[in-house]
Each structure stands twice: as C-alpha cells, then as structure tokens.
A and B are shown apart, each in its own frame.
Chain A
Amino acid sequence: MMIPVRCFTCGTVIGEHYEAFEERASDGDEDPAEVLDDLGITRHCCRRMMVSHTDLVDVVAPYQ
C-alpha cells in the first residue's frame, strides 16, 4: 500500500526517501542505481525495498 517506513531486513528508515526516488528515477530519467547511491541507500536489502515497491493507494481508494 504505502512504502514501508523501515527496511524489513536491517531496520534503516527508508520511507522518507521514496518520494524523491520516484520523482527522480521513475518519473524522471535518472539512473535508479545512482539515485539510490545519492540518497544514501547503499545496502541491497534497503535498495530492494525502494525498487520493488508499488503504491496501491490510488487503486484501493475508490472502494473505501
């Protein structure tokens, strides 16, 4: 639904970087790997949280 607040594996707070990541890598044309490095998300456990996440709020909202 929403991006998890913390990385499941190591517990680092990653939620705060998701919007910046979306804006720069998914909507923008920057290289996702470079954006993650720039945001300070260096471990692969934290990186998968960002890369594999899908926001479902827009999908669920009409049925509320």
Chain B
Amino acid sequence: MSGQFDVQIIERDDRQARFVVRGLTPALANGFRRAMVADVPTFAIDSVRFTENSSVMFDEMIGLRLGLVPLTTPLNDFEIGDTVTVALDVEGPATAYSGDIESSDELVQPADDNIPIVELKEGHSLKFEADAVLDTGKDHAKQQGGVAVGFRHLQSVTVGDDIGEFDEQEPEILRGAIETDEGEVILTKEFDHDLTNRYPGTELTVEDVPGAYVFHVETDGSFDVEELVLRAAESLGDRADELHDAVTV
C-alpha cells in the first residue's frame, strides 16, 4: 500500500465536515472512524458532590445529565486523567442551564450554554461541585468527541443513452456525495438526493469508486472537526508504531 492518501474536503465548518479520502482499504477506513469515536479524549463531568438539591430530579438523574454536557477540551494543555473542578449554584424559580456552570479553568467551559439541566420552582435550589475528567470514548460514551461519525463508498455516476420518450424513470436515491462524469465531487443535497433530478431522461450507471470513501464527521463541540480528525489519525499512527515495535525484536 502506498503511504499517501488523497484527501479532498467537500464541506466543512466548526462542528461538522464531509471529506473524501482515496487510497484506503475498508478496514483502514473503519479503523479511522473508530479512532475518531473512541480514541480522542474529551472532558466530561464524572463525579458530583451535591450540597443541596431540592429540585424535582434525583441526584443521580442530574449527575447523568451533567455527564452529557460537552465541555471544551484544549488537548494540547491537558493529559488523559487530568481533572477540572466545576460548580453550579442556582436558586428557583429559574432553570439551571449548562451556561450557569462555573469552571475553575477558563479553557474548560461548557461548549453550549443553553442546555437545560433542571427547571427549578419556587423554593427549589441546586448546588453542587463536580469533577470533569479527561478520558476517551473507549472508557465511557460521554467522553466521545466524535458524534455520528460515518463513512460510505464514494459512488461515481456514468450517464448513458437517453431513455425512451414514454418510458417511466425510476427515482435513483443517493446519499452523501457522488462523483460525476467529469470527476467532480458534488453533494447529493444539491439535487435533493435524487439523481434523476440532475440527469432527467437518461440511463444512469452508479458504481462504487474503489478505495475512495466519503467521511461525514461531527463533533459535540469539545473541539473542532480538524482537531478531531488529526488526533484520530495520530492515535492510529501511534498504535501502528506500538505494534511495529512489539513485533520487531
């Protein structure tokens, strides 16, 4: 296998991206996906010390919700196992939001400020201190940085002859991105996922492009997509090195 992969970014913003990678085997593509899901660590609240909770939910229910709140994770400044203390103090009537969580480290903050934790009525109050731990998705799903990470074969479309004037054309539904005759990669949402909208009245052949995969990556807000993808590639490389060192005497 060649050491080079050709990467082409189709769409990209902070929290989600779609890109084509050429020169992969299915196993390597899946290894890469799994690295994004399980190997890139994020901060998540792990243990909570409640000092006051007179809300309608039990401590455990609130603890579960807190664990799912994404926290920004600058991976250059922390190592796996590091903890950051956070605290919250809200008195009702009010709703406790993730944005009310105060962190002892300004680099580690809730990624979204509007997640409702619990609604507090008159006389209710919620007060706690909690530890956020940096760990990988392998350890607990709440620590996964990648969300809905997936890949599929890149498909290429070849336009054939015109179909008969009175022939009915079946819809040809595709998802993600396709490669056109000219070798251009376009998103299927541009033609509402139905190829017959783009090429009406023609015969179409759709084939998988060997070794080319379209990845769709989203993050929970802990870091941007670029960070997630690069860290995943790095961890895959590290593990390959580890295996190499282990088998060479």
Binding site for B on A (CB under 8 A): 1-6, 10-13, 15-19, 43, 55, 57, 60-61, 64
B65, B70, B220: residue with the most chain A Cβ atoms closer than 10 Å: B65
Instruction: Say yes or no: A11-B220 contact (C-beta < 8 A), given A2-B119, A5-B68, A57-B56.
Output: yes
Complex contact B116–A11 (CB within 8 A): no
Chain A residues within 8 Å of B41, by CB: none
Chain B residues within 8 Å of A19, by CB: 114, 116
Chain B residues 120-162 with CB under 8 Å of chain A are 121, 124, 141, 144, 147-148
A-B contact pairs, 13 of them (CB 8 A): A2-B119, A5-B68, A11-B148, A12-B218, A13-B111, A13-B221, A15-B116, A16-B112, A16-B113, A16-B115, A17-B114, A64-B55, A64-B124
CA distance A60 to B54 in the complex (A): 13
- Size of interface on B: residues with Cβ below 8 Å to A: 28
The B contact surface, by secondary structure, is loop
Indicate whether B61 reaches chain A with its CB closer than 8 angstroms.
Answer: yes
Complex: chain B residue closest to A15, CB-CB: B115
Complex: chain A residue closest to B99, CB-CB: A16
Complex contact B148–A10 (CB within 8 A): yes
The residue from B57, B70, B124 contacting A13, defined by CB atoms under 8 A apart = B70
CA distance A15 to B112 in the complex (A): 10
